[in-house]
Amino acid sequence: MKISIKNKILFYVFISIFFIIIIYGLIIYIGVKKNIEVDIENRLTMSGKLIKEQINPEEILILKLQGKIHERYLKKLGQLKEILDVNDIFIIDANKKVIFSLFAKKEKFFLDIDKFEINNAFKGKQTSSPFYIGTGGKYFKTGYIPINENWVAGIEINVLYEKYLKQYARLFFIVSVIALLFGFLISFLISSGISKSIIKLKEKAEKISKREFDENIKINAVEEEIVILSETIDKMKREIKEYIENKEKMATIGEFSAGIAHEMRNSLNILSGYAELIIEKTQDEKITNYAVEIKKNVWKFNNFLNNFLTYTKDFTPEFIKADIKNILIKVINEFFKGEENIIKIEYDDNEKFIKDVDEYLLKKAFYNIILNSYHAVSRNKDKKILIKLLNEKDGRIKIIIRDNGIGIDEKIKDKIFQPFVTAKKEGVGLGLAITYRIIKEIHKGEIFVDSQKNIGTEFTIVL
Ligand SMILES: Nc1ncnc2c1ncn2[C@@H]1O[C@H](COP(=O)(O)OP(=O)(O)OP(=O)(O)O)[C@@H](O)[C@H]1O
Ligand SMILES: [Mg+2]
């Protein structure tokens, strides 16, 4: 599923605000609840004191008689009930029997539940029950006020919990809506800014595909990442431009050279033919040597022409599955016959090294590297060229070609893959340039080199 940056930002902001609101709501809820409870406890303590003042323990027994004293208690505690805004005031005896209540109905279902609090009250401690939901979904709480070891007075208060909660819910709802609207507005502004920069970048990038390389890709966005992206695309643009220009130049050279190379080869063949004729006909040793020299140089020039054409040519490779190990063995057998004690290949016999490759071109690439190594070790007493083949974990194949030769000349170390870079008297400097094209461009592989003066050189190819 694809999702636009704009929607993604909106989604994340929505989720964040949602969680902030939930946490904020919970904190407020806990705070409000705590405040209400403290408030109720205070009410109970204060009411308890007032009620206690109005009750004379000596009169309590007489209350049962429902006489004048009972009337008086009904009146004075009734007034107190109104003032304190409580539900009922009652008195219980040690058996938890209600012996007085402002209500005619004396059964109190919660006395059994509040056993613990009542017992404590009989021990002289003012206590209160937990909240409970009574009739009409209202919250109640009962306070127990010790009068003496025989009597405990109770106050049943109605808590306007729902009123507070409703107020809180309303406030919470308003705050949430404002927060969400505000969040959406901010995220909309942010995401619109980013989308705008990206769209601008996209339009500029499209110009690259139309080869409009003069367009400056860098944009002045606020977002650091977009600026980095635009700089990267700009760098890429310059590289593409350079690459295309180079390619076009090469194509032109290629076409041109292919045309004249044909003519040159004809002349070279004639030259070579005449040189051979001279060798055949003459008895003069000096002249024979001149003719041999002509033949040698014709051969060298022909070789140069071939390499030059290979480098400038646009390849149309033909890929087939092949074992890299066999390609390397062929290169050694065909071009380095008799040098098996110098050039060794190391690989696991149980493994295969299969890849889709153009065998002809890959042979050329390996040959160029091995030939350079062969030249590099030529003055050594102990000449060693070791080729290692490895199957990598990611399915790629690694080929290491190591020699103990003279090492790459420091002056050209950084540019050996460029054409016409050579440190050899008779070199052209095209061998590695061709190899580089074959490995990187044709096979999309990697090629690295590591070299130390008079110790040796190691080429690593990954296919
Ligand atoms: N194994 C090696 N050890 C030391 N130097 C090396 C090695 N391989 C390459 N070089 C250096 O890199 C240069 C460039 O190599 P490259 O094969 O491109 O050209 P070349 O061998 O000079 O000419 P040619 O076009 O005939 O191959 C060489 O001239 C040589 O100095
Ligand atoms: Mg070479």
373-427 pLDDT per residue, tens: 999 999 999 999 999 999 999 999 999 999 999 999 999 988 899 888 899 888 8
pLDDT at 264: 85
Same domain as 442, residue 404: yes
In the reported structure, the alpha carbon of residue 429 is separated from the centroid of ligand 1 by a whole-number distance in angstroms of 6
Is the Cβ–Cβ distance between 108 and 90 less than 8 Å?
yes
Supply the DSSP symbol for 420. T
Residue to mutate (ligand 1; options 424, 437, 450; most atoms within 8 A of CB): 424
Same domain as 453, residue 374: yes
Q: Is the pLDDT of residue 274 over 70?
A: yes
In the reported structure, the alpha carbon of residue 270 is separated from the centroid of ligand 1 by a whole-number distance in angstroms of 31
302 lies in a domain?
Answer: yes
In the reported structure, the alpha carbon of residue 236 is separated from the centroid of ligand 1 by a whole-number distance in angstroms of 30
Same domain as 262, residue 335: no
139 lies in a domain?
Answer: yes
373 CA: nearest ligand 1 atom? 1
Ligand nearest to the CA of 403: 1
182 lies in a domain?
Answer: no
pLDDT band at 3 (very low <50, low <70, confident <90, very high): confident
Q: Scanning the structure block, which residue is given the tokens 């044709």?
A: 442
421 CA: nearest ligand 1 atom? 14
208 lies in a domain?
Answer: no
Same domain as 301, residue 326: no
Helix (H, G, I), strand (E, B) or coil at 152: strand
Q: Is the pLDDT of residue 144 over 70?
A: yes
Highest mean pLDDT among 82-91, 160-169, 207-216, 258-267: 82-91
Q: Is the pLDDT of residue 290 over 70?
A: yes
Same domain as 268, residue 338: no
Mean per-residue pLDDT for 364-379? 95
Instruction: Please say which residue of 148, 164, 180 terminates a domain.
Output: 164
Same domain as 153, residue 53: yes
Task: Pinpoint the alpha helices (H) of 126-223.
Answer: 161-209
Q: Whose CA is closest to 434, among 307, 334, 342, 333?
A: 307
Q: Which residues surround ligand 2, an ion (CB under 5 A)?
A: 372, 431
Instruction: Please say which residue of 164, 179, 197 terminates a domain.
Output: 164
Same domain as 155, residue 10: yes
In the structure, which protein residues have their CB atom closer than 6 angstroms to any atom of ligand 1? Answer: 307, 368, 372-373, 376, 403, 405-409, 412, 416, 421-424, 427-433, 457
Euclidean distance between CA atoms 47 and 157, whole angstroms: 10
Task: Record the tokens describing residue 188, joined without a space.
Answer: 């909309």
Same domain as 15, residue 151: yes
434 CA: nearest ligand 1 atom? 18
Same domain as 153, residue 17: yes
Bridge partners (DSSP) listed for residue 321: 356
Is 236 or 247 the better-scoring residue by pLDDT?
236
pLDDT at 161: 65
196 lies in a domain?
Answer: no
Instruction: Please say which residue of 312, 338, 353 terminates a domain.
Output: 312
pLDDT at 218: 77
Same domain as 324, residue 248: no
pLDDT per residue as tens digits for the range 29-85: 888 878 888 888 888 888 888 998 999 888 888 887 788 888 999 999 999 999 988
- Share above pLDDT 90 across residues of the chain, in percent, rounded to a whole number: 41
Same domain as 347, residue 266: no
Task: Record the tokens describing residue 35, joined without a space.
Answer: 């405040």
| Beta strands at 320-323 and 343-346: parallel, antiparallel or unpaired | unpaired
212 lies in a domain?
Answer: no
| Beta strands at 456-462 and 397-403: parallel, antiparallel or unpaired | antiparallel
Euclidean distance between CA atoms 408 and 385, whole angstroms: 15
Q: How many structural domains is the chain composed of?
A: 3
pLDDT at 64: 78
Range of the domain at 343: 320-462
429 CA: nearest ligand 1 atom? 19
| Beta strands at 446-452 and 88-93: parallel, antiparallel or unpaired | unpaired
Quote the mean pLDDT of the chain. 87
Supply the DSSP symbol for 115. H
